[in-house]
Structure 1
Amino acid sequence: MLAKSGIAALLRGLSVCSLLFSIAANAQDDPFAEYHEMMGDDNPAIFVIEEGAELWAKPQGPKQASLEQCDLGLGAGVVKGAYAQLPSYFADTKQVMDLEGRLIYCMESLQGRDRADILRKPYSSTGDMGTELEALASYIADQSMGMPIATPQNHPAERAAYAMGEQLFFYRAGPYDFSCATCHRQSDKRIRLQNLPNLTVSAGAGSAYSTWPAYRISQGLVRTMGWRMQNCAKQQRLPQLLPGSEAVVALIEYMSVNGTGTEMAAPGLKR
């Protein structure tokens, strides 16, 4: 019997092969629609979710502690519904935090792990088996499946984060003079085969935010919202964005608040 890592690798290979066959066999406006229909409710991210559940309960670090006492905003150890209400303000850190930033904080404070080690490779490269942060994010996101996005705007710091996120969204920079809005402020647009959701309106922001983390068919990996932010900055030729950084949290805050009310459907299935 194949080990879980072997099954995941096999699924990645099958996913890419099926994808290429679909594109060659059926040149539709959206060649990935047939693949989505073929997959149905089956999402290879299930294996990553299971891994995340194991990592959540696994003692690690100098303190040999699990993350089961990590407070994601709804109380120590409460995972159900937590992702749908992030980012939010945390009194213990006196700052607004997203899921990945909060997980890193819990790894440090509960497990005694070194932040530099955690951030050395937070996201997997193509061909890798995935990282701890990706697995944990997938598990926690899955626990909010079907719940409405309800990112709070009660604390002044939360409202300030939204305002910063909006400013960053429209800020043009880099050698291409791009902003997030360059690609994501118009509806019904796409680049190559990629849909470009309008993140300034509820429908676009909700459909985008509610489906991350997501299993990327073309990469055979689960990718997180933090990775999406980092990758967008990379495409704009901007400095690298670190997981849980102020800029990342602000941009996620802007998107999630704009998508308020949309039902969570993560981990999603994307191109």
Structure 2
Amino acid sequence: MKHAVVHRRLLAAASLVLASSAVSAQGNSATDAIAKYREMLQDGNPAELFEMKGEELWKQKRGPKNVTLEQCDLGKGPGVLAGAFTELPRFFKDTGKVMDLETRLIHCMVTQQGFNEADLYKAAPTIGKGEGANLVAITTYVATQSKGMRFNLSQAHEKEKTMYEVGKRLFFQRGGPHDFACTTCHGTDGGRIRLQDLPNLTKNPGDGIGFAAWPAYRVSNSQMWTMQKRLNDCYRQQRFPEPQFGSDATIALGVYMGVNAKGAESIVPAIKR
């Protein structure tokens, strides 16, 4: 029943955005129409289904050890979720590494629930089935617990500072058959591709934009995308080889964008075209 309601709302919203476009000559721009479209979809956002599944998985006894994830430490203490997402990626003393939300969740699934790490990393890119889909749901649930909070990534540890600088270099690095970089799309103000606004992510883009909007539900393919998936697809669009899931490159880019988003409000889970 829930899926049927969501489907009806998506159809209704699609009809309304077409109507909005039809009256653009009367003063409504395409950007305004897209904004209205997203606002309407937000009521009954399909991401709620992923959030619900993630909460169930967070509290469910799973894995060889048959325990829950409720004691997972995401940086603010065992089981503390509020505000954790808006401080990630960060350095974790127990691993000696800077980790984002997804790699930290895998760490907890391995150390607390007994899952095989190699198996989880292999499954993670397959976001629509198995443990890959489970990771997307758990990530969505955890991230949503910080909705409305403001990003404040730490730069206190030397490894956090290094990751920021590496992420910055990667963001500006040009290459591939089209000589693209992240800045090709996200390095100037007022950019757009077709009807999609492209925020400038070399500085703070504002509340709920860029890093502060993922995980998000993609209406165009009916999928929930996390930041790892978003970054990998950016590399694909640049015609670069896609990084491995949880690579230092994607985490470094997350640090760079997260630090730049300091003070921005998280609207996760967002909705995208």
TM-score by length of 2: 0.88
- One-letter amino acid of the counterpart of residue 70, structure 1: C
Once residues 69 and 107 of structure 1 are traced to their aligned partners in structure 2, the CA distance between those partners, rounded to angstroms, is 11
Once residues 60 and 14 of structure 1 are traced to their aligned partners in structure 2, the CA distance between those partners, rounded to angstroms, is 34
Return the match for 1:175 from 153, 174, 177.
Answer: 177
Determine if the alignment matches structure 1 residue 75 to structure 2 residue 77. Answer: yes
Q: Secondary structure at the match of 2:86?
A: helix
How many residue pairs match? The answer is: 264
Closer/same/farther in 2, CA of residues 75 and 172 from structure 1, 3 Å limit: same
- One-letter amino acid of the counterpart of residue 265, structure 1: I
Match of 1:252 in 2: 254
> After superposition, what is the alpha-carbon deviation per residue over 1:34-92, rounded to whole angstroms, capped at 9, x for unaligned?
32233354422112111111111111111112111111001111111100110100011
Match of 2:94 in 1: 92
How far off is 1:264 after superposition? 1.3
Q: Secondary structure at the match of 2:271?
A: strand
> Any unmatched runs of 5+ in structure 1?
none
Once residues 125 and 112 of structure 1 are traced to their aligned partners in structure 2, the CA distance between those partners, rounded to angstroms, is 21
- One-letter amino acid of the counterpart of residue 26, structure 1: S
- One-letter amino acid of the counterpart of residue 46, structure 1: E
Return the match for 1:17 from 6, 11, 32.
Answer: 11
Q: Secondary structure at the match of 1:198?
A: coil
| Aligned pairs for 1:1-271 within 5 A | 2=1, 7-8=2-3, 10=4, 13-14=7-8, 17-18=11-12, 20-27=14-21, 28=24, 29-30=30-31, 31-39=33-41, 41-123=43-125, 131-203=133-205, 207-271=209-273
How far off is 1:20 after superposition? 4.4
Q: Secondary structure at the match of 1:203?
A: coil
Closer/same/farther in 2, CA of residues 205 and 33 from structure 1, 3 Å limit: closer
Closer/same/farther in 2, CA of residues 54 and 126 from structure 1, 3 Å limit: closer
- One-letter amino acid of the counterpart of residue 221, structure 1: Q
Once residues 12 and 161 of structure 2 are traced to their aligned partners in structure 1, the CA distance between those partners, rounded to angstroms, is 44
Q: Judge conservation of contact 2:216–2:269 (CA < 8 Å) in 1.
A: yes
Q: Judge conservation of contact 1:101–1:245 (CA < 8 Å) in 2.
A: no
Q: Judge conservation of contact 1:83–1:141 (CA < 8 Å) in 2.
A: yes
Once residues 62 and 133 of structure 1 are traced to their aligned partners in structure 2, the CA distance between those partners, rounded to angstroms, is 17
> Any unmatched runs of 5+ in structure 2?
25-29
Once residues 129 and 71 of structure 2 are traced to their aligned partners in structure 1, the CA distance between those partners, rounded to angstroms, is 33
> After superposition, what is the alpha-carbon deviation per residue over 1:179-200, rounded to whole angstroms, capped at 9, x for unaligned?
1111110011110122111001
- One-letter amino acid of the counterpart of residue 68, structure 1: E
- One-letter amino acid of the counterpart of residue 140, structure 1: V
Q: Judge conservation of contact 1:11–1:220 (CA < 8 Å) in 2.
A: no
Once residues 18 and 228 of structure 2 are traced to their aligned partners in structure 1, the CA distance between those partners, rounded to angstroms, is 32
Q: Judge conservation of contact 2:125–2:245 (CA < 8 Å) in 1.
A: no
Q: Judge conservation of contact 2:207–2:265 (CA < 8 Å) in 1.
A: no
> After superposition, what is the alpha-carbon deviation per residue over 1:98-156, rounded to whole angstroms, capped at 9, x for unaligned?
0011111111111111223223332556799x811111111111111111101100000
Once residues 260 and 190 of structure 1 are traced to their aligned partners in structure 2, the CA distance between those partners, rounded to angstroms, is 24
